[in-house]
């Protein structure tokens, strides 16, 4: 049996843990265990980074097709799928390989490529990818196994070939028609990518709106925009799937009586925490009913010496959340007498689709359900000078405030650069800065698009000060 000071299961955000602080705390020998096909976790290989590289190319195609309204007659002559794909993974794959080699040959790290499961407290058995097993014990263990795509049983049972976000970006041939099951952020981003590249995209969602967890106004506006671009089926269950063998088209029979056919099926129905095959019971690690590992505010599980971070324990499966938790756990491992808490406030998210969406804090519905005296203000992009330049009539920034405290409760944007424009609002909420200070305590460049945020803040301030209507 191999013994180490620290064992880390997962090479995504868990790979951030080894460093100087651990060494000074006597955590000298660190084993990283990765059972997936590639090193580096979801974000690097099949998540945030490759998807956004595809999105950038899709944005270029969409902008060209949309330029006529600005007086520029442009066309997309051809989309070279293989070149786009190879540009993306030609950068990512070598990075994953070099990261694996760095950990394999590191002075204080060892790398085990295999699937780990607990056999006893602080004890693991690793089924090595190249055969055989190895037992590892550790003074402390961090579970950072991330998440994996959820595939509904009706899809699995049908025998129809399908892709998830783990595989669809490496398609050999670009499909003429794509069917996407799901109405969340992965479905929205992939619909934008493949639709902008020229595929006929059909989106099938059980909910009545796409991005249903977003603020209702944002979700409604995004759904309307989606229905102008793609073949969208809302409030539909899939009753049956057939086809897909030997070049045959795939057909879905829907609960509304319609049928949808395509060449490729993408399942984008969410992700589940990767905890089910870790043998956590043997370690004394408890999980929530949805599979998330139970942790306290410091990242400690219910088993002494075992920690967890990222998608495997977080209700928000976001890379920036996993990274923040990794920094916190690294500090707590190195400084057991000075524990830091996970940051669970002002957590933003973005959807890189067309249009782009970003949000932080409460939705209007959530704020009202929590008993806040809610005040809202919506600022259209088109009310600003740069909005004129864009000839924009649909994009907006919606702010939600509390009349009693004057605090910003939530901010939600739909439109170009939403994921960037929201940052001053994230900062406002995270630091608790008074709205007046944010809006008037600094310069806002004119005529930059950030004036949308400035004017939204000023509008919310006025609304908070206005007499309450009976």
> Which active-site residues does the annotation give?
446
Q: Angle at Cα 401 formed by Cα 398 and Cα 407, nearest 5°?
A: 130
Non-local (6+) Cβ contacts of 348 within 8 A are: 320, 358, 359, 360, 422, 426
**Integer Cα distance of 268 and 189 in angstroms:** 10
Q: Angle at Cα 312 formed by Cα 211 and Cα 410, nearest 5°?
A: 40
Buried b / exposed e across 405-436, counting CB within 10 Å, b at 16+? eebbbbbbbbbbbbbebbebbbebbeeeeebe
Burial class (CB in 10 A: 0-12, 13-18, 19+), 254: middle
| HSE, side-chain direction, 13 A CA sphere, residue 177 | 13
φ and ψ at residue 372, rounded to 5 degrees? -70, 150
Helix (H) or strand (E) holding 378: strand 374-380
**Integer Cα distance of 387 and 373 in angstroms:** 31
Tokens at 321, concatenated: 């959340």
**Integer Cα distance of 131 and 128 in angstroms:** 5
Tokens at 372, concatenated: 């806040």
Residue 418 φ/ψ region, left for φ over 0, alpha for ψ in the -120 to 50 degree band, beta for the rest: alpha
* Block residue for tokens 């800065």: 433
- Closest Cα to residue 356, out of 452, 218, 234? 218
Tokens at 329, concatenated: 């756990």
Residue 253 φ/ψ region, left for φ over 0, alpha for ψ in the -120 to 50 degree band, beta for the rest: beta
């Amino acid at each position: 049996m191999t013994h180490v000071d620290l064992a880390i299961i997962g090479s995504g955000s868990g790979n951030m843990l080894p460093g100087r602080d651990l060494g000074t705390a006597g955590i000298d020998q660190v084993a990283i265990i990765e059972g997936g096909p590639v090193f580096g976790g979801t974000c690097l290989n099949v998540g945030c980074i490759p998807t956004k590289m595809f999105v950038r190319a899709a944005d270029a195609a969409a902008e060209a097709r949309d330029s006529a309204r600005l007086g520029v007659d442009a066309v997309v002559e051809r989309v070279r799928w293989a070149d786009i794909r190879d540009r993306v993974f030609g950068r990512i794959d070598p990075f994953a390989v070099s990261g694996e080699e760095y950990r394999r040959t590191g002075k204080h790290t060892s790398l085990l490529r295999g699937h780990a499961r607990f056999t006893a407290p602080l004890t693991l058995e690793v089924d090595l990818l190249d055969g055989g097993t190895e037992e590892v014990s550790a003074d402390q263990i961090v579970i950072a196994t991330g998440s994996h795509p959820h595939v509904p049983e009706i899809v699995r049972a049908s025998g129809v070939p399908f892709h998830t976000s783990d595989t669809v970006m490496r398609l050999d041939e670009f499909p003429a028609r794509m069917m996407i099951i799901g109405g969340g952020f992965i479905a929205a981003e992939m619909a934008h990518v493949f639709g902008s590249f020229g595929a006929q995209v059909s989106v099938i969602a059980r909910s009545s709106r796409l991005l249903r967890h977003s603020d209702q106004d944002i979700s409604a506006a995004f759904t309307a925009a989606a229905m102008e671009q793609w073949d969208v089926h809302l409030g539909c269950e899939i009753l049956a799937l057939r086809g897909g063998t030997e070049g045959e088209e795939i057909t879905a029979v829907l609960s509304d009586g319609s049928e949808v056919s395509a060449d490729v099926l993408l399942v984008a129905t969410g992700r589940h925490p990767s905890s089910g095959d870790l043998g956590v019971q043997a370690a004394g690690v408890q999980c929530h009913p949805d599979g998330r590992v139970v942790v306290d505010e410091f990242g400690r599980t219910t088993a002494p010496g075992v920690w967890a971070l990222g998608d495997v324990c977080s209700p928000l499966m976001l890379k920036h959340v996993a990274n923040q938790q990794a920094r916190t756990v690294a500090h707590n491992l190195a400084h057991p007498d000075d524990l830091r808490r996970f940051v669970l406030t002002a957590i933003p998210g973005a959807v890189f689709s067309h249009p782009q969406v970003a949000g932080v804090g409460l939705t209007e519905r959530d704020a009202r359900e929590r008993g806040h005296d809610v005040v809202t203000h919506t600022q259209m992009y088109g009310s600003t000078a740069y909005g004129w330049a864009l000839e924009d009539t649909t994009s907006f920034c919606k702010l939600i405030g509390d009349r009693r405290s004057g605090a910003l409760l939530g901010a939600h944007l739909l439109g170009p650069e939403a994921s960037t424009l929201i940052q001053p609002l994230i900062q406002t909420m995270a630091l608790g800065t008074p709205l007046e200070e944010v809006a008037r305590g600094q310069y806002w460049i004119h005529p930059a698009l950030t004036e949308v945020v400035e004017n939204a803040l000023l509008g919310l301030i006025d609304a908070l000060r206005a007499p309450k209507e009976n």
